[in-house]
Structure 1
Amino acid sequence: MLLITHSMHAQLTPLPNTENYIQTKTYLDYNGSVPTKSSETVGYFDGLGRPKQVVNVKASPLGRDVVTHIEYDQFGRQTKDYLPVPQSGTQNGAIITNPLSNATQPGIYGSEKIYSEKMLEKSPLDRIMQQIQPGNDWANKPVGFSYEANMVNEVYQYTTKTTWENGATKSELILASATSFYAPGTLYKNVVTDEDGNKTVEFKNGRGQTLLVRKITTEYLDTYYVYNEYDQLAFVIPPKAVHMGTAEPLLNDLCYQYRYDGRNRLVEKKLPGKGWELMVYDKADRLILTQDAVMGSKGKWLLTKYDIFGRAIYTGVLVSTAKRAVLQDLIKDLVITEPRSTQGFIRNGMTI
């Protein structure tokens, strides 16, 4: 297979027909009919169509090939990721028989370990249990992974009560009591232990939604993610707010809040300590108007218009005191585009 990324007159180095490969040449500087700079890569594949070697032709500062070796274990899994190895010369893209032999040169990697390694679970799931980074210094500092279920009194069970207000969801955060926890064994619990022994614990429900991320160092730092009845992210509760109740003033000061319209589009959001930010979309789900609290106090909106290909072509300021729901209703059935024209127009006394 041959892939040419530029120029009908591209000249590629002939390669042997005994290997499966994709050869790519990209011109970096083109002067008339004579290319002066180019980047050439050859990817080789085994009989099963799996990548086995990538040759970056003459990619080193000395004009030598740089080769990435790819190998698989007896089960066809790629458990080692090798660093690219500069070769002693160039074979103009031909496959390198022993690409790792040059790695031990003092000016390259020397005695360093040149691959990262994954230890996989002995099951059809092939889940990663350990991962070790390249380099001798990391050899005894693996990243560990474990897969468990939640235990008793481990994760608070927040819920919401959602109503419809001004064309958007409005959720109330509820924690029935200080003892409202998910029942044991109802959540997936994934634990990642980094090279320094610090743990990150992630809890997910059966729908794959992340409910809690817990950082464990000298203390627990919990960040909760709360979804409304429509499986939309309604609240993010940072560590400082976890044990301080669910009153609205607290939510406004410390939490992230999100509201959505009937098409599942984010139309209102509030970041900690900030006012509400509003968003208005056209029929094609493109963001047309946005407003933060400062612009809202001045009766202004940031306007974005697009061409027929969906590319933003200009932004401006719309002066309007209309509510978000009113503006959304005005353009909900419109696809807002700006056609190209050789004639200008007059706006606020200016010819554009």
Structure 2
Amino acid sequence: GAEFGVTVEQTLTGYYNPMSSICAPDGTLYIANAGYHSIMKRTPSGVQTVFAGGNSTVYGYVNGTGTAARFRLPSFVVMDGSGNIFLTDQQNHRIRKITPSGAVTTFAGSGNIGSTNGTGTAASFHYPMGLAFDASGNLYVADAYNNKIRKITPSGVVSDYAGSGVQGTQDGAAGTARFYQPRSIYVDSKGDMYVADRLNNLLRKVSGGMVTTVAGNGTTGFVDGQGSAARFNGMGDVVVKEGNIYSVDIHNHALRYISPAGNVKTISTSGQFTTPVNICEGPGGKFYITENTTNRVKRVDVRRAYSISPALPDGLIFDESTGRISGRLGSVRASQSYTVTARNNMGSSTATVTFSVAAGSGPNASWGQNHILETIPRRAYGSLSTMEGKPVDSVNRRIQYFDGLGRPMQHVEWQGSPLKKDVVQYIEYDGFGREAIKYLPYADDTSNNGSFKVDGKLKQQYYYKNTGSITGKTTGWDAHVKKTDRPYAVTVFENSPLNRVKEQGSPGMVWQPAANRTPGTGRTVVTDHGTNVTIPSAEAVRLWKVDHNASGTPTGATGTTDYVAGRLYKTVVKDENWTSGRAGTVEEYKDFGDRVVLKRIWESESKKLETYYVYDDFGDLCYVVPPAVTQDKFTEAAADPVFDKYIYAYRYDGRRRLKEKKVPGRGWEHIVYNNNDQPVLTQDSVQRTKPLPEWSYTKYDAFGRVTETGIFRRNLSRGQLQDTLNLEQADASRALWETRGYNALSYDNKSYPRGTSTKTVLTVNYYDDYGFRATNVLPASSGLNNTAMVKGLLTGT
């Protein structure tokens, strides 16, 4: 079969404890000659000179040009797009920069050990090691002894990128993940970062704000295998080529390959390398591998087991160990042929593969983003496959995109507008993970394929802004939409860990938060918090107390006193039309048990509507006193018209279950429960006055689903029926629920009430199968066939 092959083509010498090298596009090699505290330069013709630093065992910290500069253990070098060299001056705890002419300056780091973020020399590091640039020019640093990855913007602003700073192997969100002296980093063409986590003996990956482990399990060893089954001994450095990873394993003295699927394979032979600490790519696909203890840099040719030509388009990955192509193309492509070559020590063979991507009528979700695709048929279809490629008038599709933390980023309604444009709901979060700004959905005039909109926020502004342009793009293209420069609702939170909403705005200029409320802006819903007061008296809160008879049964309530100031939490909501004073505000008061005591609505500065909530000694709601009640006392006596016409009343049994309730204009409703706390019998005042009193009954199955309802006739009070039910259910032979065997016609009628002469059945519900049917049912006219896979579903009533 096909096999890798590694050949050392050239060995370069003249170094002392070299730590890394980087190859320029023209083939010039720059070597971090750590033992001599210098940067060496070797031209493609083989001329080697000191590029910067003293090139001796004398170290220091001096900015200057060429050999006038001084370093202390320069460890890793990297080159930006302009040819500038950046290096980690490890024991000076700084990041240094060398221009193509050799001028050395300090890019970041104060020189003091620390982990302070800041700009330039205001920041601090602790033995920084690996470096890598992304496509935007941001520089990333493996801050080894801080157990972090740091980010430096082109302007020199240093921040934490990944790692909590605590030693460990924890994966997860970048800010909470843990490393153990990460040695080097590599950023691929997709922006994903690979971290050689040296003392953890792991290869880690940072993508979408999440850290995962690619290979290794945190223990030392020398084992090939899949993912966590592999072992390393000093993860040194990596190069990533379209998902194929080449890694140097320092103390195993080996070059190892990690496939896109995470399978680790040693591809060098014994004795080819000694303490390889760094790998970089040179012209022609060659690698330069730096050996620390032997003071050498080796140019290496790796014969891939499989190769492909030309290169695959973005979205597809070629596995150089198996020849397998994986991935997904995100756009239409014309037919293209590719040649796959397999190689081993005996020779090579080739095969050709041809494919194309045609336009489809369905959505093209962005597979580079976490997402859920929801399909909603608008016509009858027999299977999901028959819905593929159907137009939007036949099948609706919604795509929800999520970030690395599982939070929604965009909701896309595929071709959801009248003009069949994608309707997009853009979502963003503030630094505390709150959705402080809620954006209106918009129709995308340039895309209708359901893809993730990378410029969704800007396009939302284009859609609602008056006709003109933003950054050269036409705005206001949909004349049917009301235009506004503020197509979003802003939420202002108070500055506390409680995250309580202080102001809630709405879309439109008028409804935006502002310093002052004017007819044209600042019209938000404002929420204030405080406690109750007694002065002025109009704002006092009446203290209602439940009255009881000698047996402890509630008989009414009295509210002749007020709460002492500061004993209730007060929340005031001021509507959009409020400017000052009380009018347009709603007050809510809660006690220390978080129970609502009063809701007060101010219609004007002096007119108010108050609803009081009265609780018993157990904290259960006993009465609701509406605004129409102006008296400070009422009773449940029949002679009290206030209670009958206005009061809501509730009574509870010893298990704090609602046993009786009354609403204004109706008599008392009674409720009887079984031992599962399910209401079995209910009775209203009309049923209670019939010659033979009636109760509405409900039966259940073992899963709490209603199986039967009807009318039960028994001349007993609620208490007598509850006692009867309690005594019956104390008998183990009695059942709490109904049972129906598989495909049986009826239930066993073993739960209360059972007597057929005292009850009238009104409804019966069946679940889980169709065995209750006495005769066959005609098939549906739509052509759909029923299925026997109905466990847990309602199948008949």
TM-score, normalised via structure 1 length: 0.85
Deviations 1:85-132 (A, max 9, x none): 111153422111222133332223423632122111122222211112
In the alignment, which of 562, 568, 571 is matched to residue 187 of structure 1? 568
Matched, 1:212 2:598: yes
> Which residue number in structure 2 is paired with residue 319 of structure 1?
713
> Which residue number in structure 2 is paired with residue 148 of structure 1?
530
Structure 2 vs 1, CA of residues 16 and 277 (structure 1 numbering), >3 Å: closer, same or farther? closer
Which SS does the other structure have where 1:31 is aligned? coil
In the alignment, which of 745, 748, 766 is matched to residue 342 of structure 1? 745
Aligned sequence identity (%)? 32
Over aligned residue pairs, what C-alpha RMSD do you find? 3.0
Contact 1:260 1:266 in 2 (8 A): yes
In the alignment, which of 251, 264, 273 is matched to residue 643 of structure 2? 251
Give distance in 2, aligned partners of 1:144 and 1:335. Answer: 51
**Larger relative contact order, structure 1 or 2 (CA cutoff 8 Å, min sep 6):** 1
Matched, 1:130 2:130: no
Structure 2 vs 1, CA of residues 351 and 319 (structure 1 numbering), >3 Å: closer, same or farther? closer
Matched, 1:288 2:691: no
Give distance in 1, aligned partners of 2:526 and 2:746. Answer: 64
Contact 2:529 2:570 in 1 (8 A): yes
Deviation at 1:77, TM superposition (A): 2.5
> Which residue number in structure 2 is paired with residue 78 of structure 1?
435
Deviation at 1:247, TM superposition (A): 3.1
Contact 1:213 1:222 in 2 (8 A): yes
> Which residue number in structure 2 is paired with residue 302 of structure 1?
696
Give distance in 2, aligned partners of 1:339 and 1:63. Answer: 51
> Which residue number in structure 2 is paired with residue 68 of structure 1?
425
Matched, 1:102 2:463: yes
> Which residue number in structure 1 is paired with residue 621 of structure 2?
233
Structure 2 vs 1, CA of residues 14 and 133 (structure 1 numbering), >3 Å: closer, same or farther? closer
Deviation at 1:82, TM superposition (A): 1.2
- 57-66 or 26-35, which deviates more: 26-35
In the alignment, which of 483, 486, 489 is matched to residue 113 of structure 1? 486
Runs of 4 or more consecutive aligned structure 1 residues displaced over 6 Å after TM superposition: 349-352
Deviations 1:166-219 (A, max 9, x none): xxx73244436x3x1111111100001112331110000111000000111131
Q: Match for 1:20: what amino acid?
A: N
Gap runs ≥5 in structure 1: 1-10
Structure 2 vs 1, CA of residues 271 and 92 (structure 1 numbering), >3 Å: closer, same or farther? same
Give distance in 2, aligned partners of 1:193 and 1:52. Answer: 31
Which SS does the other structure have where 1:229 is aligned? coil
Matched, 1:200 2:603: no
- 321-330 or 104-113, which deviates more: 104-113
Structure 2 vs 1, CA of residues 95 and 272 (structure 1 numbering), >3 Å: closer, same or farther? same
Give distance in 1, aligned partners of 2:491 and 2:676. Answer: 44
Which SS does the other structure have where 1:158 is aligned? strand
Deviation at 1:302, TM superposition (A): 1.3
Give distance in 1, aligned partners of 2:556 and 2:628. Answer: 16
Structure 2 vs 1, CA of residues 24 and 32 (structure 1 numbering), >3 Å: closer, same or farther? closer
Contact 1:63 1:90 in 2 (8 A): no
Contact 1:118 1:130 in 2 (8 A): yes
Gap runs ≥5 in structure 2: 1-360, 466-475, 513-520, 579-583, 730-734, 750-754, 763-797
In the alignment, which of 386, 409, 428 is matched to residue 52 of structure 1? 409
Structure 2 vs 1, CA of residues 244 and 300 (structure 1 numbering), >3 Å: closer, same or farther? same
Contact 1:43 1:54 in 2 (8 A): yes
Contact 1:223 1:236 in 2 (8 A): yes
Alignment of 1:243-282 (within 5 A): 243-248=631-636, 249=640, 250-282=642-674
Contact 1:304 1:315 in 2 (8 A): yes
Structure possessing the higher radius of gyration over alpha carbons: 2
Structure 2 vs 1, CA of residues 351 and 232 (structure 1 numbering), >3 Å: closer, same or farther? closer
> Which residue number in structure 2 is paired with residue 7 of structure 1?
none
Deviations 1:268-317 (A, max 9, x none): 01112321111111222222211111110011111222334322233211
Contact 1:222 1:242 in 2 (8 A): no
Deviation at 1:246, TM superposition (A): 2.4
Deviations 1:131-155 (A, max 9, x none): 1222345453211110010012511
> Which residue number in structure 2 is paired with residue 87 of structure 1?
444
Which SS does the other structure have where 1:157 is aligned? strand
Which SS does the other structure have where 2:379 is aligned? strand
Contact 1:278 1:291 in 2 (8 A): yes
TM-score, normalised via structure 2 length: 0.39
> Which residue number in structure 2 is paired with residue 18 of structure 1?
368
Give distance in 1, aligned partners of 2:550 and 2:381. Answer: 62
- 322-331 or 181-190, which deviates more: 322-331
Give distance in 1, aligned partners of 2:450 and 2:365. Answer: 7
Structure 2 vs 1, CA of residues 188 and 350 (structure 1 numbering), >3 Å: closer, same or farther? closer
Contact 2:555 2:635 in 1 (8 A): no
